[in-house]
Chains A and B, each alone.
Chain A
Amino acid sequence: MADFDQELDASGLNCPLPILRAKKTLTAMESGKILRIIATDPGSVKDFEAFAKQTGNELLASGEEGGKYTFLIKKS
């Protein structure tokens, strides 16, 4: 996965906490910076797609490895 500026570990958290934590972290970041999120909630895959679509923050990448889901989101 590409480089990122900040990381958020939302492992063990369930809906809607990964989204809420991501939103909070993004709010404190500068436009254009990239946030990497790690989650274990399988629902987060579709949730982050929907989050990106509705907020305008770009979902650069999304992947799964060994039960962990990772997302790269660029702040709009």
Chain B
Amino acid sequence: MEQKKLAIIATKGTLDWAYPPFILASTAAALGYEVQIFFTFYGLQLLRRDLNLKVSSLGNPAMPMPMPVPVLMQALPGMQSFMTTMMKKKMKSKGVASLEELRELCVEAEVKMIACQMTVDLFEFDTKDFVSDVEYAGAAVFFEFAGDADICLYI
């Protein structure tokens, strides 16, 4: 049987949105898939050596809260850090893997990680801040793999 392929485009850089690409990539790899993730725009934040991702309830009325907080209050200084700390604590208590761990598992499983060269240049990111297992390329390289993929996800 030919190896199945999963192609993912990761475009978001918040703590919550960082999970789906790494969870799906590592799981697919465990199931025998060949996996590539193309990181572009804010998704590039997921490649930083030191992940410092945040989560915000602003603009996200669906986020479960222990108690109702008026939207204006959510915009106060320190609220974003508070939400992030709460979310990380909750995840840890529920046995949810850290992003660092999931990313490391992806690397171990030979998930190929490609950073979009154009957005790296656009945001003037220093590639020294990114993990070393990253390749730098453009959209055409993504399609070389995605064109033959069984599943393609835009996250």
A61 at interface, CB cutoff 8 A: no
Q: How many A-B residue pairs have CB under 8 A?
A: 33
**Which residues does chain A contribute within 8 Å of B89, judged by CB atoms?**
none
A17 at interface, CB cutoff 8 A: yes
Number of B residues whose C-beta is below 8 Å from A? 12
**Are A14 and B27 in contact, CB atoms less than 8 angstroms apart?**
no
Q: Which of B15-37 contact A (CB under 8 A)?
A: 23, 26-27, 30-32
B70 at interface, CB cutoff 8 A: no
CB distance from B104 to the nearest CB of A (A): 11
8 CB contacts below 8 A, A to B, read A14-B94, A14-B95, A20-B26, A20-B27, A20-B105, A24-B108, A41-B95, A55-B32
**Are A51 and B30 in contact, CB atoms less than 8 angstroms apart?**
yes
Among A14, A15, A55, the residue within 8 A (CB) of B31 is A55
**Which residues does chain A contribute within 8 Å of B96, judged by CB atoms?**
14
Q: Which of B34-92 contact A (CB under 8 A)?
A: none
User: Within the assembled complex, what's the spacing in Å between the Cα atoms of A41 and B96?
Assistant: 10
**Which residues does chain A contribute within 8 Å of B97, judged by CB atoms?**
13-14, 16-17
- Contact size range, A: 10 to 19
**Are B23 and A16 in contact, CB atoms less than 8 angstroms apart?**
yes
**Which residues does chain A contribute within 8 Å of B30, judged by CB atoms?**
16, 19-20, 22-23, 51, 55
CB distance from A66 to the nearest CB of B (A): 18
How does the 8 Å CB contact mask read for A3-45 relative to B, with 1 for contact and 0 for none?
0000000001111110110111000000000000000110000
**Are A15 and B32 in contact, CB atoms less than 8 angstroms apart?**
no
**Which residues does chain A contribute within 8 Å of B31, judged by CB atoms?**
51, 54-55
**Which residues does chain A contribute within 8 Å of B94, judged by CB atoms?**
14
Closest 3 A/B residue pairs (Cβ): A23-B30, A14-B95, A16-B27
**Which residues does chain B contribute within 8 Å of A22, judged by CB atoms?**
30
User: Within the assembled complex, what's the spacing in Å between the Cα atoms of A51 and B23?
Assistant: 15
Interface centre among B95, B97, B105 (most CB of A within 10 A): B95
User: Within the assembled complex, what's the spacing in Å between the Cα atoms of A23 and B26?
Assistant: 11
User: Within the assembled complex, what's the spacing in Å between the Cα atoms of A54 and B28?
Assistant: 10
**Which residues does chain A contribute within 8 Å of B105, judged by CB atoms?**
20
**Which residues does chain A contribute within 8 Å of B108, judged by CB atoms?**
24
